């Protein structure tokens, strides 16, 4: 079954759906033999699991460790392989750059080259954000756009920026220019297919000019290009599911992904308490709420087992405020696993609770990876979660006569 089959069955309703996404929630046993979720005291999540139906979600596929882009696409019902989102678009979305379908988005790393043009620092000494903004302004003011395209430089953070080329017939099949080693010159932005020849010429001209414009800079005197991605428009959650959706997230990348899928974006938040306060304020205005908790993933990435446990316990303590709103469907899961013992994303499936008056409860009474194995949702591809949520919210009609 293709995940877009549900689109053909969508009907309007007034029910509300909340996705509480604890980024990188799933884990692995730590020193005590328990995972982060097992070690955490989570009476509220356990009660939710007891009344709801649980399971395990594979973000992309068996054994595949997903990036945040594909994992979130899967959460919202988009096939993460067919819709594999390029780094350039993700970066552009993260800084809220107004992308159009004529845009080629490119992730830029500022680098340092010596007088022979050999790369001596692939991150330009991690220049600060202020320098980054100054460099981008300098490039923007001095660049002469070649071949009737527009050229836009947008700072991101430290040595990272986005280069947007706007024009007709641009192609993303271009070789990345980072030589990956010091003491080598940047690679040329070579066309990987014949149709990318014009794009190659344009990018070669931009890089050459950028080298001249930045020649007097002590550190950020060269661009390295990667993650080329032609912007494409994705069908929105409203177009697909008739859901007016609000994203509540502090981190730019997740706000960006939500924006790509047509969600409204709540005011930036710093804490989970602020996110829940915002949810409460906006609850009447939308059908679907994406609440993103970043700290579970951050602690996991840091290899901080106890820190991740604490974040889970903190979210658990705030869960009653979300439950009190009375959404017809409340889903709690992660976008992927980030075990502290691996200090990074992993391929292990993500535990999930779906709580709804219409769900068929299982015997799971504790929210953990090991308990979710026995859940009524079974182990399923994450891209089917949204269909389950819509069904439980009575937002899908019958298939066939």
* Interaction site with its own copies (CB under 8 A): 1-2, 5-6, 9, 26, 28-29, 35, 56, 60-70, 80-81, 84-87, 90, 227, 342, 345-348, 358, 360-363, 369-370, 373-376, 378-381, 384, 387-392, 396-401
CB of 311: closest distance to its own copies in angstroms? 19
SS3 398: coil
Closest separation in Å from C-beta 149 to its own copies? 24
Nearer to its own copies, 193 or 399 (CB): 399
Least spacing, CB of residue 367 vs its own copies, in Å: 15
Q: Rounded to whole angstroms, how far apart are CA atoms 242 and 356?
A: 19
- Smallest distance, Å, CB 183 to its own copies? 23
Q: Which is nearer to its own copies, 66 or 155 (CB)?
A: 66
Nearer to its own copies, 80 or 146 (CB): 80
Report in angstroms how near the CB of residue 98 gets to its own copies at its nearest. 20
User: Closest separation between CB of residue 386 and its own copies, Å?
Assistant: 8
Measured between its terminal Cα atoms, the distance across the chain in Å is 18
Supply 371's token pair.
């308990």
d(CA 232, CA 101): 6
| Cβ burial, residue 342 (10 Å; 0-12/13-18/19+) | middle
Could you tell me if 198 and 186 are in contact, meaning their C-beta atoms sit under 8 angstroms apart?
no
- 139 or 384: CB nearest its own copies: 384
CA distances from 23 to 68, 131, 136, 302, 308 (A): 9, 31, 32, 14, 11
What is the chain's Cα-based Rg? 23
CA distance 244 to 262: 9
Q: How far is the CB of 72 from its own copies (least distance, A)?
A: 10
The CA distances from residue 345 to 24, 41, 68, in Å, are 7, 23, 9
- Nearer to its own copies by Cβ, of 95 and 373: the residue is 373
Cβ proximity to its own copies: between 275 and 328 the closer is 328
Nearest approach, Cβ of 217 to its own copies (angstroms)?
A: 27
Report the nearest approach of its own copies to the CB of residue 385 (Å). Answer: 8
Q: Could you tell me if 97 and 224 are in contact, meaning their C-beta atoms sit under 8 angstroms apart?
A: no
Q: How far is the CB of 348 from its own copies (least distance, A)?
A: 5
| Residue pair 69/340 in contact by the 8 Å Cβ criterion | no
What distances in angstroms separate CA 354 from CA 8, 96, 183, 328, one per listed residue? 23, 31, 53, 10
CB-wise, 219 or 348, nearer to its own copies? 348
Half-sphere exposure of 226 (CA within 13 A, CB side): 11
Distance CA 285, CA 372 (A): 33
C-beta of residue 257 within 8 angstroms of C-beta of residue 236:
no
β-pairing, 160-166 with 378-381?
unpaired
- When the beta carbons of 60 and 311 are compared against its own copies, the nearer one is 60
Residue whose CB is less far from its own copies, 106 or 278: 106
The H or E element that residue 258 is part of is helix 252-260
* Nearer of residues 278 and 396 to its own copies, judged by Cβ: 396
């Amino acid at each position: 079954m293709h995940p877009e089959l549900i689109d053909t069955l969508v009907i309007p309703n007034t029910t509300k759906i909340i996705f509480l996404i604890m980024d990188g929630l799933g884990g692995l046993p730590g020193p005590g033999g328990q995972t982060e979720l097992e070690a955490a005291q989570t009476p509220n999540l356990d009660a939710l699991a007891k009344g709801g139906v649980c399971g395990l979600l594979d973000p992309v596929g068996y054994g595949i460790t997903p990036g945040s882009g594909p994992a979130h696409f899967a959460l919202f019902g988009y096939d993460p392989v067919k819709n594999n989102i390029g780094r350039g678009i993700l970066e552009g979305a993260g800084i809220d750059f107004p992308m159009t379908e004529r845009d080629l988005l490119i992730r830029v790393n500022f680098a340092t080259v010596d007088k022979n043009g050999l790369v001596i620092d692939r991150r330009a000494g991690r220049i600060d954000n202020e320098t980054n903004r100054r460099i981008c302004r300098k490039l923007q003011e001095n660049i002469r756009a070649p071949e009737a395209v527009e050229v836009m430089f947008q700072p991101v953070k430290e040595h990272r920026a986005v280069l947007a080329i706007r024009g007709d017939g641009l192609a993303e099949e271009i070789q990345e220019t980072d030589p990956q080693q010091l003491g080598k010159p940047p690679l040329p932005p070579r066309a990987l297919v014949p149709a990318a020849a014009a794009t190659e010429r344009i990018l070669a001209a931009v890089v050459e000019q950028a080298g001249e414009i930045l020649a007097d800079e002590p550190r950020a005197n060269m661009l390295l290009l990667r993650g080329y991605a032609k912007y494409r428009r994705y069908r929105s959650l409203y177009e697909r599911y008739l859901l007016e959706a609000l994203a509540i997230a502090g981190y730019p990348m997740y706000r960006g992904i939500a924006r790509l899928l047509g969600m409204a974006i709540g005011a930036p938040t710093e804490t989970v308490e602020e996110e829940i306060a915002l949810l409460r304020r906006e609850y009447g205005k939308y059908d679907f709420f994406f609440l993103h908790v970043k700290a579970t993933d951050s602690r996991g990435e840091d290899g901080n087992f106890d820190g991740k446990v604490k974040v889970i316990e903190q979210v658990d303590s705030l869960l009653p405020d979300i439950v009190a709103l009375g959404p017809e469907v409340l889903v709690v899961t992660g976008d992927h696993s980030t075990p502290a013992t691996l200090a990074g994303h992993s391929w292990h499936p993500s535990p999930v609770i779906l709580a709804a008056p219409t769900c068929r409860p299982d015997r799971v009474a504790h929210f953990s990876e090991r308990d979710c194995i026995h859940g009524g949702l079974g182990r399923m591809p994450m891209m089917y979660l949204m269909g389950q949520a819509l069904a439980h919210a009575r937002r899908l009609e019958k298939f066939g006569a």
